[in-house]
Structure 1
Amino acid sequence: AMAVGIPGTIAGIFAVHEKFGKLSIKDIFEPVIALAQKGVIVTEKQKISFDKYREDIVEVSGTNNLFAKVFEKNDTVKYPAFAKTLRRIQENGRDEFYKGETAKKLIDFLQKNGSIITMEDLAKYEAKWREPITFMYKDLKIISMSPPSSGGICLAQIMKMIAPFDVSKMGHNTTKTVQLITEAERRAYADRSYYLGDPDFVKIPIKQLLDNSYLQNRMNSFSFEKATSSSELPYGKVNIVESTETTHYSIVDQYGNAVSVTTTLNDGYGCKLYSDELGFFLNDEMDDFSAKPGVPNIFGLVGGEANSITSQKRMLSSMTPTIVEKNGKLFMVVGTPGGSTIITSVLQTILNVYEFGMTMQDAVDAPRFHHQWLPDNITFEPDAFSKEMLEELKMKGYIISENSMPVIGKVDAILIGSDGKLEGGADKRGDDKAFGF
């Protein structure tokens, strides 16, 4: 329970509803409560996930919790306790979760399991509105998440570093394209580890980090002839790991409103601590802090003092919910789970459409690769890239990893055509679905 950070989803939902909502909270919650009561059907991929994590869940939460049971494909999982929790929040509002009966039940459960979170900690929590990171890539205006997520800044740095090159002419997933993107990612993730954290606690030099001349200087050491060594790049000496079990959804409505939302428990099923009374798992978000600067987290990411643990501070993440405009009009809504690979998955999806002319579905399904400065290797999805290209990269000094990460991201995105037609792309890597109504 010491891994648990204050849950922010309920505060976030109510803050967004207060600012933009038209339906009542009662109307919004009703179908969610009904679904929790009716239950959901287990898919093949969910069964695999349950089986993978069951032993860990039982170790933390015991043999009597809901997820200690062996579920088969097509079984129905019902969440009556979660439905009751949602009903209380529906009736009593945001404060039910942070100050009410649900808060008391949550704190009692956490403290019995060793947490130091108090009622006062819950009551102090508030959702924060921040200015997004906005930048141009050629004729695209890209709007993404600002710190304490590293997503927007890293995405902006990478895209600005590759913008001077004719990426389209280089071709999709060719040796040159992989090299260029890898080297830009290497430099952006090096800066991430040193500079980024909660802007309420650390001064982040955003203007300098996104300055074109600064980024051009960062790429001065890049050569198509050989790999740059991460050990030779400044702002090293730190590393971080993130889980791939985040959730993302992208929505466009009939009025042209667009929403890109990423939410997470961090690792798969969070810290594996499940409250039978409340009906949900708790996160392990404390892992996203640099508990020991320079030591990797579960995603292999290295972090510095800027992301060290402090009371009421928010941890650095890689969430990259993104909205793209072209010629002043909505062009794309995109995001993904994937821990440290979120940024690079969003990047490649945008490039696949804009530079390589893919459909939205082809863009999210296309094979992906990832580099995050440390560890100093390029991770490729297995059996998805030509052996010749991988050999060329090895000859240039790149370290190749094909088996460490079978799936990189699970992107959900919407492309808006020039005629206003919406084209959904739901990643084949997950149980993702694209639908309109």
Structure 2
Amino acid sequence: MTIENQNFLAEKEAPVNCSGVYTEKVPNHEAENGFNQKRKQKGSLKKKLLIASVLALGAYAAYTTITRVSYYDDRTSSIFTNPDISEMYVKYLSNRKRDLNIEIVESIPVAKRSEPAKSHKRAKCNDLTFDEGYVTDSNEAFGRTGAVATDEGRCSQIGIDVLKEGGSAVDAAIAGGLCVGLLNAYTSGIGGGGFMLIRKPNGESETIDFREMAPSGSKPDMYVANNTLSTFGGLAIGVPGVIRGYELAHKKYGKLSWSRLFQPTIKLAREGYVIGTPLANSMRNREKDLRTAPGFLEVYFSPNGTLLQAGQISKRVKFSETLEKVAKLGADEFYKGETTKSMVKAIQDAGGIITLQDFANYKPEIKKTQVMEYNGRKVITAAPATSGPVVSTVLNILQGYKLKQASKRPLSTHRIVEAFKFGFSLRTDMGDPNFVDNSFIINKCVDKEFGNSLRARITDDLTHSYQYYDLKNEIKNDRGTTHLAILDKDDMAVSFTSTINLHFGSKVIDFNTGVIFNNEMDDFGTPGLINAFGLPPSPSNFIAPGKRPMSSTAATIVEKDGKVEFVLGAAGGSKIITSTTQVLLNVIEFNKSLKQSVDMPRIHNQLLPEITEYEKGYPQFVLDSLEMKKHNLTVMSPGSSIVQGIRRLSDGRINAVSDGRRFGIPAAY
């Protein structure tokens, strides 16, 4: 890949911020792309001309609003703000790729804007069904054979190249994951861990768990005296699992050679790569930390000591040499070789307790998946230590509402938030299955009677304090991560989340190998540290030698009629759970395209702290309704969750979408 091509993929124009646009009715999501022949047949030219005529008459009168549209950027704006009708309609046609005669549109005269309405007028419209606005303009790709969605366009292309060469979805996941670990090194890499949810061509599924592991010298109270040691420095590092996880996945499902999968990333690291905007932003925000380590100074700073910027070239030559060794000698080089010795020394020099034996003892694990039925589909998620059961619980609650038939979107949103709260309460009882018996929770979360019992406790007119949801322990946040979604020609799907936790993990980098290490030990709970709500940490997630901390990852694969329909997942810590669920609901329940579903603003509630977060651009009338139900609302930080998704459309095409919140670009063929 040339530097010029890298530059195009890394610095593609940032997604347009089109927050706050919503319409009363949106055409069927498959029709908008011009491929739904049945809808085209139904939508005759006569019918289209009639619609256009009505719009024109309404514009001339300047009093009749055919379709309510709101353009607002803050919570003081009105849903009755009426833009120029011709401007509105042209934008509507452009966004939806409709095929009406443009001459009809151009003939519509200009209408004056109405005065902004007050919030009490909005309340009168609460019984209407509106659609959310869009907070980003995500990139999408279409194909018929395979697709890869990542948060870095160059990595999506590397994955597609693997598929085109006859590689499996697992091959593409490994090649793409290695790439993201270089180009977005602040989120993931071979110094971290992850989970790979795999749906085989025969319909069977499993999860490969290569989550980081607590060192043999770990103790439950090791951070009581100084809890900052769990986030920064050598003591924060868990034994990395990525390379062993890749090895196991490749041995079971790989088609191309192990070495082949490493070559694109080796070349990028050795010859140089264009720094993308997300990496540059993270580097700038953590410049002080990066300056403390010679390994970071060598790769992210210019010779005169200035921090590299987006669009400039970075080289990680030592890291490329490490990848070359692992590609040639296998995973043992990382866990039992000279590379291991260098990494252990770097970790211990930074105050860590990981030993050579800890690396040698690390083993990935194959776990059963959790499967449930939802709306005529089979939903596959990973079991603990992931948060797949939380997603299952939320869906189990919501499927009794028949959301598709709901005429009031505010009420549906309230119910979704309440389901989130019950799901997060359940999460505090889960832990590493090698140390905690999760069988009761795993069985309960898909049990219809259990879903019915939780649904019966949701009150449509009011939310409640955290005690109402049976919360016993504090909710531990995790952060960071990257996600990849892959679908190949054989209907093998991979939903794969990898992380080093906080941006640049522990901020420890081995100068000799170039490996950046995680700070995953921070995802454990620490005994005795009572949170601000008076809740103790969960014993299920206490530190123990060889234990893996709970994760918010929620990789999801959905089947319909025996074939893969969706491959979904997200980055964003605890918001992974809520963002993945919302995107799925937006398509299945609210008839949105995958791109629309990803672009729509999200809402989040994890029970504690007692706030409901919303992305700027969320419909004001929905927020008003939530406030009336006593939700404590606060604006979500931009880009808090990043979704990657693939969908098989009814006509057989494959649609891949990479979230514009991190400027991702998918690929398909």
TM-score by length of 1: 0.93
Cα deviation, 1:270-328, whole Å, max 9, x if unaligned, reads 1111222111311010011112366569xxx9850001000001110011111110121
1:202 corresponds to which residue?
436
Residues 119-268 of structure 1 aligned to structure 2 (within 5 Å) = 119-150=356-387, 152-170=388-406, 174-193=409-428, 195-204=429-438, 205=440, 206-243=442-479, 245-268=480-503
- The alpha carbon displacement at 1:125 in A equals 0.3
Pairing 1:289–2:524 present: yes
Taking the aligned partners of 2:481 and 2:550, their CA distance within structure 1 comes to 14
Q: 1:380 to 1:277 in 2, by over 3 A?
A: same
Gaps of 5+ in 1: none
- The alpha carbon displacement at 1:391 in A equals 2.2
Read off the aligned partner of 1:269 and give its amino acid letter: F
RMSD: 1.9
Q: 1:266 to 1:132 in 2, by over 3 A?
A: same
SS in 2 for 1:363: helix
Pairing 1:35–2:271 present: no
Taking the aligned partners of 1:3 and 1:311, their CA distance within structure 2 comes to 14
Percent sequence identity over matched residues? Answer: 31
2:137 corresponds to which residue?
none
Taking the aligned partners of 1:63 and 1:426, their CA distance within structure 2 comes to 28
Taking the aligned partners of 1:170 and 1:76, their CA distance within structure 2 comes to 52
8 Å CA contact 2:295–2:514 kept in 1: the answer is no
SS in 2 for 1:136: strand
1:334 corresponds to which residue?
568
Taking the aligned partners of 1:52 and 1:405, their CA distance within structure 2 comes to 15
8 Å CA contact 2:398–2:455 kept in 1: the answer is no
- The alpha carbon displacement at 1:421 in A equals 0.8
1:110 corresponds to which residue?
347
8 Å CA contact 2:258–2:327 kept in 1: the answer is yes
- The alpha carbon displacement at 1:60 in A equals 6.0
- The alpha carbon displacement at 1:97 in A equals 0.6
Match of 2:582 among 348, 353, 374: 348
- The alpha carbon displacement at 1:236 in A equals 2.9
- The alpha carbon displacement at 1:406 in A equals 2.0
Gaps of 5+ in 2: 1-233
Residues 412-431 of structure 1 aligned to structure 2 (within 5 Å) = 412-431=644-663
Read off the aligned partner of 2:458 and give its amino acid letter: F
- The alpha carbon displacement at 1:57 in A equals 2.6
- The alpha carbon displacement at 1:25 in A equals 0.8
Read off the aligned partner of 1:254 and give its amino acid letter: K
Cα deviation, 1:367-402, whole Å, max 9, x if unaligned, reads 1111111111111112x1122321221121111011
Pairing 1:67–2:67 present: no
2:248 corresponds to which residue?
15
2:144 corresponds to which residue?
none
Q: 1:321 to 1:233 in 2, by over 3 A?
A: closer
Q: 1:423 to 1:209 in 2, by over 3 A?
A: closer
Taking the aligned partners of 2:432 and 2:402, their CA distance within structure 1 comes to 35
Taking the aligned partners of 1:231 and 1:50, their CA distance within structure 2 comes to 40
Higher relative contact order, chain-length normalized (CA < 8 Å, sep 6+): 2
- The alpha carbon displacement at 1:133 in A equals 1.2
Pairing 1:3–2:229 present: no
- The alpha carbon displacement at 1:228 in A equals 2.1
Taking the aligned partners of 1:406 and 1:323, their CA distance within structure 2 comes to 26
Taking the aligned partners of 2:531 and 2:354, their CA distance within structure 1 comes to 25
SS in 2 for 1:217: helix
Read off the aligned partner of 2:257 and give its amino acid letter: S
Taking the aligned partners of 2:431 and 2:543, their CA distance within structure 1 comes to 10
Taking the aligned partners of 1:148 and 1:293, their CA distance within structure 2 comes to 22
Cα deviation, 1:49-86, whole Å, max 9, x if unaligned, reads 21011112334668744335511221011111111000
Taking the aligned partners of 2:407 and 2:660, their CA distance within structure 1 comes to 23
Q: 1:41 to 1:189 in 2, by over 3 A?
A: same
SS in 2 for 1:2: helix
SS in 1 for 2:571: coil
Cα deviation, 1:119-155, whole Å, max 9, x if unaligned, reads 01111000000001111112111111111112x1000
8 Å CA contact 1:57–1:273 kept in 2: the answer is no
Pairing 1:278–2:510 present: no
Match of 1:56 among 259, 271, 289: 289
Taking the aligned partners of 2:294 and 2:520, their CA distance within structure 1 comes to 18
Aligned residue pairs, count? 428
Greater mean alpha carbon deviation, residues 99-108 or residues 229-238:
229-238
8 Å CA contact 1:145–1:322 kept in 2: the answer is yes
1:310 corresponds to which residue?
544
Taking the aligned partners of 1:170 and 1:50, their CA distance within structure 2 comes to 45
Greater mean alpha carbon deviation, residues 339-348 or residues 228-237:
228-237
8 Å CA contact 1:42–1:74 kept in 2: the answer is yes
Taking the aligned partners of 2:529 and 2:411, their CA distance within structure 1 comes to 31
Cα deviation, 1:34-62, whole Å, max 9, x if unaligned, reads 12112221223332221011112334668
Q: 1:133 to 1:78 in 2, by over 3 A?
A: same
2:327 corresponds to which residue?
90
Taking the aligned partners of 1:229 and 1:47, their CA distance within structure 2 comes to 40
Read off the aligned partner of 1:141 and give its amino acid letter: K
Cα deviation, 1:199-231, whole Å, max 9, x if unaligned, reads 000111121343221222223221111112212
Taking the aligned partners of 1:106 and 1:241, their CA distance within structure 2 comes to 27
Residues 391-402 of structure 1 aligned to structure 2 (within 5 Å) = 391-402=624-635
Cα deviation, 1:97-128, whole Å, max 9, x if unaligned, reads 11101110100111111100000111100000
Greater mean alpha carbon deviation, residues 75-84 or residues 226-235:
226-235
Read off the aligned partner of 1:433 and give its amino acid letter: I
Greater mean alpha carbon deviation, residues 324-333 or residues 232-241:
232-241
Cα deviation, 1:242-274, whole Å, max 9, x if unaligned, reads 21x211111112222211110000111111112
8 Å CA contact 1:362–1:425 kept in 2: the answer is no
8 Å CA contact 1:249–1:335 kept in 2: the answer is yes
2:608 corresponds to which residue?
374
